[in-house]
Every structure is written in structure tokens, then in C-alpha cells.
Structure 1
Amino acid sequence: MKLSIEKVVYGGAGIASANGGKTVFVPFTLPGEQIEAKITEEYGNRQEATLARIESPSPDRIAPRCIHFGLCGGCQYQHASYTAQLQIKKEILQETLERAGLNELPPIETHAAEPWEYRNRIRLRAMAVEGKLRVGYLRRGSTEFLPIETCPISAPILLRAAEVFMSLAEDFPSWTRAVEEVEFFTSGDERKLQMTLLVRTPPIKGFAGFCEAMQQQLPELAGAGVQVIESVTRGRKSIRTQAGASWGAAGLQYTTGEETYWVSRGSFFQVNRSLLARLVELVTAGRSGEIAWDLYAGVGLFARVLAKQFDEVVAVEAAGGDLATNLRGSNARAVAATTVEFLRQAALERDRPDLIVMDPPRAGVGSEVCSLLSRIKAPEIVYVSCDPTTLGRDLRLMIDSGYRLNQLHLVDMFPQTFHQETVAVLGR
């Protein structure tokens, strides 16, 4: 089937119109390209296809840097120049928000940095292939294991750590055979590293010896821990674990901008080491007053900076162990609660801060939080989102309750992939 690619949509595929009013989704294509495609699946008016041949390539098409691109499920855009990637993401954000009913949008400002070697964390599957331990990801659209040799979006030390891990298979077979997944997390300067092994049945002994052997080859290794998998999804992604053995430091110091944070092994932290300081600046710069709330606060990435600019900062996080550590001694207070719990009480007490910062997970904040925010009526809200669809839904609710959308920033925290980070600034 011959097709003309019209645009790229969220998820990374190009789309084209086919006879009969059907929409065809073709991965690894770019706007304006003339292609031949093979239909693989059909759902009503939607067809999935694979790229068979490019008859007329886009001038934005480049050779991918990674040898696994197209097979690995991690990246979707390595065939596009970085300038083109940013334009695609900007257009997707604009269209997604307009589809949510937001027709009067401010100009979208784009922020980008190093598009390669930016990731400070990777989580790899581990499996024996032809009797040899290998690490890798899942094949695109599959639960099949794909061994990898390289991952050019990751900090080099993370791949070096994976190589050392595999090299110890013969000396520590009980541990390397038990591992189903291994996660490495590095400081931004690659001077310190944490390792987490995810296993179903941990060996009885030998973990300290295994870690010491790794540290001999990888001096940056500061600590390691075991997480015992209790339940998994179909794709072997662990969803519930219990802490097991531990060795060395329980986390690492992570410096970005002028702040240094304690990040425990396994705690959530933004993955882009190149653009993190810019994200913090966008959220916090030029804002001051008496009271600020940092909701879904994580380790206190924004609260630490806001505490220098506001008389009082309240940072809310359900799993807030690192948050309390990072706010100790400042005028910021850590609250161990969900955002909904905190806002319900705040609405009852008629509390009103000068600023609310929100950085929720992919699901967004939802209708109840938006309703509570409409009752609290903070004069300014900064919303950090990693999903344009849920962002559009939430912004629509907040605008309907009296807020106006003043600024939109596309922060490309995930180059080479379809994922994107947005900072939306609202006022009353």
C-alpha cells in the first residue's frame, strides 16, 4: 500500500489516510514522506502497518545512532533530526491541548539540551542466552527479550556497569542467575553509582562479596540492594517488591544547579541529567511570597529551591523519606500524605498559598484535585506534566474553574523517544 505521511502522533507513529476513510499508523516515518507500507492489524477505521519502503524520504530523516533502533522498544525518533523531533513534539502538544478544548493557548516555548547520553538511570532485563548472561530490554511491541550491546541515550557509566555485572557471571553464578532485572542509577557527574538487583528468590549468602567484586572493577559503585519480586505483569515488569539485602550506601548525593539532594536507591528522580537544572529554573525562578506548596514533591526537587524564595514551603509526598531528609533545617516542611488527603484538609481549613507546584505521575491530578484547587484558589499554579493527554484534561478543568493558562513550556527530558515533559503556568 502506498501512503503519504501527514503527521506524527503521540506514541511515535506517522499517520496517513487510506481508501475508505481509514487511518493508517506507520512507525519510523516522518511528515511528508511517500512510503509503501504493509498492513499488519486492523481495528475498525484504524490500521496498523509496518514500513516496507521509503519512496520519497523527508529531508529531516537521518541515520539512527543505535544499532538496536527499530527492534528495541525504548526509542521512537532516532530516524529524525533533533530539530525535527522538537517540532514534532511541539505540534503534538499543541494538537492534544486543542483537542481537549483549549483553543486560546499561549506560545509554546521549547527547551532542549544534550540529546544523547542524558539518562541517569536504566533498568535492564537479565537472561541467559546460549549459556551466557546478557542484559537488555524488550523488543518493540513484544514481551520478547532483546539483548543489547549499547544504549546511546544512557550515561556511559551505566553501560560500563552492565558490562561489569555480566563479567561476574562465572564467579558469582548464584547471584547473576537469580537476577531478573538490574537497575543502575548514577549521579549527574557519573562519580557515584547505585545498583539494584531484582530477584524472585535471593541466594542465601554472597551478596557482599558480589558487590565488592563489582566495586573492584567499578570504583564508582557506592551501594547496592536487592528487591525481591512478589508479583509481575505479563511483560515481566516487576510491580511489587520487598527489600532484601543491602550493601554500602543506601543512596547517593545528586547535585543539580546549586542544590544537592539525597536520593535513596529506588526513589523517583528525573532521568535527564542534562536538562534537570533548567526544569527546576522554569518552575521556581522569579517566584516568591509567603507560602508555597509543592505537591507530589518526590525528593524535594522544587521545594528546596522554593524554600529560599518563600517564607514557608509545605512539600507533600506519600512516600516521603528522602523528602524529609532533603528539607531538614530549612523553612520547608515535609508532609507524608497523598495530595488529595492534603488538599481535602486544606480546603476545610480554608488555607490559601501564594503558589502551588504540582508534578504528578503520568495519570495527572484528576477531577477531585482540580475541584479542590478551585476551592483553594491559589493565585498561581505551576503544573509539571509528563503526559499531554492527562495534562489537557486537567487544564480544561482548571480553566473552567476560573484559571487562565499563561505559559506553556515543552521541556524535552526524553530525546529520541515520544515522551515529553510540559510545564504549564496558570493564574487567576
Structure 2
Amino acid sequence: MKLHIEKMIYGGNGLAHSANEAGPGRAIFVPFTLPREVVEARITKQHSAFSAAELESIAVASADRVTPRCAHFGECGGCQYQHASYDAQLRLKQEILRETLERAGLNSLPRIEPHAAEPWKYRNRIRLRVAEIGGQLRAGYLRRGSTDFLPIGMCPIAAPLLWRAAEALLTLGGNAAQWAHAAEEVEFFSTADVARLQMTLFVRHQPAKGFAQFCEALRERLPELEGAGVLIMQHAGQGRKTQRFRKGDTWGADGLSYSVAAESYWVSRGGFFQVNRYVVETLVDLVTRGRRGRLAWDLYAGVGLFSRVLAKTFSEVVAVEASAGDLAQNLRGEGRRTIVATTADFLRQAALERERPELIVVDPPRAGVGIEACTLLARIKPPEIVYVSCDPTTLGRDLKAMVDSGYRLRELHMVDMFPQTFHQETVAVLSL
């Protein structure tokens, strides 16, 4: 059917409606389209509230349409926006963020300030599947919308060192090759200046010996490699989220020292760190700049990305993280306190005590802070809350709860942490 694309929606699809003389027809989601385009599309799935379609051809193209840089775009599940100019991507993400927050019931939003950098070669971490195809070892991702393996020959959003590392792994010979063939997945993580590299192999069965020799052979081709480890995969259900791992052999350093502005953070192999090596400094600046006082709390603190900087301008910083190994190492010294707990547990206890911070920073996973935590934050009543979000839908839910409790949404920043994809990072500043 012929469709007129009205706008983009969160998730990367264009929205159209089927023709209906009585009014707007059924909502149809079409990937790889842009607003105001006229396309031919084929319905592939019917859902209760919408239909999913595949793009067949473009009758009228947007002026924002460009040629994708990656040969695998459209097949690979990683990117959704390579067909749009980068200026258009930023504009679309701001529009989606504003509409999502307004749909959550937030009115009179402040201007959304965009923050962006180089949109290619930005990723400091990639995790690839590994499989033998036609007698040749290949690395790749998943095909879009499936769990099928897609071998790839490039990844232009990754730092070049990461793909060079994958190619070195795949072409190892001799005894070292047994480790590459044993891997089902491999993860590479580099510093921002791509001077140092960590590798994790995910295997079902670890070869009996030779891991050190394998790593030494790989380092001959890849001098940036500083450490490597094996995780043995043990199924506990379907999908990565239910996967369990047992540690296997290790070699070299067990992490990296990652520099952001004037601070250096220890990140253990496999530990979480912001993925965009170009805009993480901007993110830290937005969260910490101009903020000072007696006491700040950093919730979901991770490795202490914000805590370390806040400790320069606050007399005391309390950083809360459920898994705080790296945090404890990065946040040492007088006036710096690490608490190993979930944010919900910490806030339940804190709400019963008299200690009140001047600033609370929250940087939750995609599920957001949640209504219970928002209620507890409103009871604690810090003068200022900085909310860092990677999901506009859960952000809208949580900001609405905070605004209803008396907070004012003062600033909104859209940080493009994930160019070429629909994902976005938001920094929201609330005050009483």
C-alpha cells in the first residue's frame, strides 16, 4: 500500500495511517522512512493497536535522506537512522523526546538543548557473535528483528581499534586458533584514545590450556591489548538477560584506567561505562557544572563517573551502587563515602533519617527510577535533582511523578550518546 509518513516514533519507525474515509485509519509502523516521505510498504504483522510493515520503495524521498555508510544497514539490528542526515537525526530525537514527555502529562517544558559530537567511530565497546560460516570463522551481530546470526565486514559506529581487534582474533592460526573457535561471543572495550584494550571471550566450553599463549599471540598483532578473560556461559533460560556465567582463565590486567577530562576511572573488565567516547565529558559537565555545597548523593553511581567530579565542590559525596567494586576504588578519600545497596533500599532508609542533601543525581537503567523511589525522593526533598535517563518513556513517567510532588522541571538536555540509532540520553534538572 502507499503510505504518507507523518513522523518518527521512539524505536526508529516512521508512523503512517491506512486510508479510511471515516477518518484516520489504523496506525502503521514502517522502518527506514522519514517524515513527509511517500512510500510503498507491505504489512508484515498485525498487532492489536497497530500494524508493522516493511519498506518496499520510496515514491517521494525526504531532503534529509542520505546514503547509509554501513553495508549491513537494514539487515543488522544495531542502527536505525543511517538513512537520515545527522542534523535530521538530532532534530528527530528532540521532537520524539518532547512528544514523549508531553504524552506523559508534562506541560510547559523548557527548551530541549541538544549536545552532539562526531557521529561515527564513537563506540568504545562492542560485543560480537562468533561463528564458523562455510569453514571460515566470522564475527557479527543479530539480524534485525530476529535471533539469527549476521556475519559482518564492518561497523562504522565502532572505534576502528575494536573492529581491527575482531579481525585479528578471527585470523589467528596454530594452537591459538582453538580459543577463537571456542568463543560464541567476544567483547572488546577500549579507552577513549584507543591506546588500551580489554577483551572478554564468552564460551560454552573452555579449552584445557593455552590461554596465555593465545593472548600473547593476539597481542603480537594487537599491541593495545592489555588484558583478557573468559566467561563460561551457563544457560538459565532464554536470552542474554537470563544467562549465567562462571569465570574462566584470565590474562594481563583485569581492567582499564579510563580518562574523562581531568579524572581517571578504573573500569574492570566487563564493567559498565558510558559507550560514547566523544560525548561522555559533555555528559559529566552537564551533571556537575556549577553545583557545590555540603552534601551530594550520587545514586546508581556505577564507577563513580559523577561522584569523582562532585567531590571537588561538595564537602561530602555519598555514592550508592549495588555492585560497587570499581566505585570503591575510584571514590577514596575524606568526604567520599561508598554504600553498597540498591537505590530503593538506600532511599527507604534515608527517608527515615534526618540527613538531607542539597543535590541528588540519579542515573538509572532503562527501567527508570520508578514510582516508589520518586515518592521517597519527594519525601527527602533535596533542593535539586539531576536525572540522567537513557529511556524517554520511563523518564516521562518519573518526571511527571516528581513534578506532581512539587518539583519544577528547569532544564532538559538531549545528549546524543548513540548516533545512527534511535536511542538517546537525557539530562533533566529539577528544583523545588
TM-score (normalised: structure 2): 0.97
Amino acid at match of 1:389: T
1:359 aligned onto 2:396:
no
Deviations 1:302-335 (A, max 9, x none): 0000000100000000100000100123521111
Answer whether contact 1:188 1:255 (CA < 8 A) is retained: yes
Answer whether contact 1:133 1:169 (CA < 8 A) is retained: no
Corresponding residue number in structure 1 for 2:429: 425
Answer whether contact 1:169 1:176 (CA < 8 A) is retained: no
Answer whether contact 1:143 1:235 (CA < 8 A) is retained: no
Give distance in 2, aligned partners of 1:390 and 1:282. 20
1:13 aligned onto 2:31:
no
Corresponding residue number in structure 2 for 1:406: 410
1:329 aligned onto 2:333:
yes
Aligned partner (choices 26, 31, 38) of residue 30 of structure 2: 26
Q: CA deviation at 1:131?
A: 1.1
Identity fraction in percent = 65
Answer whether contact 1:307 1:330 (CA < 8 A) is retained: no
Corresponding residue number in structure 2 for 1:121: 125
Give distance in 2, aligned partners of 1:195 and 1:124. 11
1:191 aligned onto 2:195:
yes
Deviations 1:319-357 (A, max 9, x none): 000001001235211111111111111111122100000
Corresponding residue number in structure 2 for 1:346: 350
Answer whether contact 2:169 2:218 (CA < 8 A) is retained: yes
Aligned partner (choices 73, 94, 107) of residue 103 of structure 1: 107
1:166 aligned onto 2:159:
no
The alpha-carbon distance between structure 1 residues 393 and 45, as it changes in their structure 2 partners (threshold 3 A), is: closer
Q: CA deviation at 1:58?
A: 0.2
Q: CA deviation at 1:19?
A: 2.4
Answer whether contact 1:33 1:56 (CA < 8 A) is retained: yes
Name structure 1 gaps, 5 residues minimum: none
Answer whether contact 1:353 1:378 (CA < 8 A) is retained: yes
Amino acid at match of 1:396: K
Give distance in 2, aligned partners of 1:153 and 1:342. 37
Deviations 1:78-129 (A, max 9, x none): 0000000001100100000001000121110000001000000000000000
Aligned partner (choices 72, 83, 98) of residue 87 of structure 2: 83
SS of the counterpart of 2:233?
strand
SS of the counterpart of 1:66?
coil
SS of the counterpart of 1:335?
strand
Name structure 2 gaps, 5 residues minimum: none
SS of the counterpart of 1:172?
helix
Amino acid at match of 1:22: R
Task: Map 1:277-356; keep pairs closer than 5 Å.
Answer: 277-356=281-360
Task: Give RMSD over aligned pairs.
Answer: 1.2
Give distance in 2, aligned partners of 1:334 and 1:177. 41
1:138 aligned onto 2:142:
yes
Give distance in 2, aligned partners of 1:73 and 1:170. 33
Corresponding residue number in structure 2 for 1:151: 155
Amino acid at match of 2:355: D
Corresponding residue number in structure 1 for 2:384: 380
Q: CA deviation at 1:239?
A: 2.9
The alpha-carbon distance between structure 1 residues 159 and 421, as it changes in their structure 2 partners (threshold 3 A), is: same
Q: CA deviation at 1:238?
A: 6.7
Amino acid at match of 1:269: F
Deviations 1:161-206 (A, max 9, x none): 0001001155434312221110000000000000000111111211
Corresponding residue number in structure 1 for 2:3: 3
Deviations 1:253-299 (A, max 9, x none): 10111111111001100000000100000000000000000000000
Q: CA deviation at 1:401?
A: 1.0
